[in-house]
Structure 1
């Protein structure tokens, strides 16, 4: 069985459910690859041999993001900042003091805009709901920023990837894989650069946190 035949056996409904579930759990505060799930589904939708609707993909992603962030907000409001202290002890790579400090700093400075733009940033995508709740952001303001951010992120990402997939399919029928490989490498390089800069900010904030702890002791 070749790849195309294997892909054709995947029910479209399963794709929508997986996209919504993965993004919903990520928005809840669980570090899952929501963006990868969305991009993969949008690429599948761009294949003319598959019956996957790109609008349904975007809708599933938006619904998952809104529902997951709302549940995360409720949990954060219920348990407060102590929730992140417990998570930091158990999952230091994702909820360490530097991660929390950076997210909190962005929230303090930008307010609801941090919720909106947080949908486009991996770190804030995990923290947005729980942290907004822990910081007692009014729910109406949170919901407005959360919903508009989710719609823009899900709809925009799906549309861009879908049309790029259509263009790539036409290109690859006439040209080699070289252009696609170069584009992928550029995308990976940009992602790694952003991750490295974020990691540096987190490390600096963790150093500040450790120094403050030593001074208090």
Structure 2
């Protein structure tokens, strides 16, 4: 069963659940499939579903970071570099970072935890998160739709072949990224336990439960 089959069977719920955890891929696929006539869904409801899932997911991760704080990071030694980078960006450009982290590959998943630990007002994050989720959902939903429209116009009968080729490349990239991340997790755990690894272990910094904000 591919992504389009899931969308046909479960509809907008798939988009809500998928975007709660991660990923713009399903939004692009859904938008393009609607434009190509392969999927009987409303592009505006696709964007709304993506907004709901993404917004709810990051609110949840923010709450986890706010509740559990630094002790949670001790269980993620393999995320040290990304966490440090996110903390630094948040210190320098708090509002801009909250509005843009969804679009930055590699840190999207850890950023809400970092923001939750930072001491930022939950109401401020709620407002900025809603704006950011709206921009993100609209960008990929309508972007996918216009991609499908362009494929219909310029590729004609070859549009499906090109679409599935692109999806195949995206899936391959996802699998490779997952394998690499799992390898890093294993090495980080070995390093954390004092066993030798093939890569240098970087000891995680222990950020405070609050981040000093720019004045």
TM normalised by structure 1 equals: 0.68
- Tell me the secondary structure at the aligned position of residue 119 of structure 1: helix
Check the 8 A contact 2:101/2:107 in 1, yes or no. yes
How many correspondences in the alignment? 177
* Inter-partner Cα distance in structure 2 for 1:210 and 1:125: 22
> Measured at CA, do residues 97 and 171 of structure 1 come closer, stay the same or move farther in structure 2, by a change above 3 Å?
same
* Inter-partner Cα distance in structure 2 for 1:71 and 1:211: 24
How far is 1:160 from its partner? 1.5
Match for residue 138 of structure 1? Answer: 121
> Measured at CA, do residues 61 and 8 of structure 1 come closer, stay the same or move farther in structure 2, by a change above 3 Å?
closer
* Inter-partner Cα distance in structure 2 for 1:67 and 1:57: 15
| Deviation digits for residues 1-33 of structure 1 (CA, Å, limit 9, x no counterpart) | xx9xx859924xx2321121111123xxxxxxx
Match for residue 25 of structure 2? Answer: 36
How far is 1:137 from its partner? 1.0
How far is 1:122 from its partner? 2.8
1:105 aligns with 2:88: yes
- Tell me the secondary structure at the aligned position of residue 124 of structure 1: coil
Query: 5+ residue gaps in structure 1?
Result: 27-33, 196-205
- Tell me the secondary structure at the aligned position of residue 41 of structure 2: coil
How far is 1:47 from its partner? 2.2
> Measured at CA, do residues 51 and 35 of structure 1 come closer, stay the same or move farther in structure 2, by a change above 3 Å?
same
Match for residue 8 of structure 2? Answer: 10
Query: 5+ residue gaps in structure 2?
Result: 178-198, 207-215
User: RMSD of aligned C-alpha atoms?
Assistant: 3.5
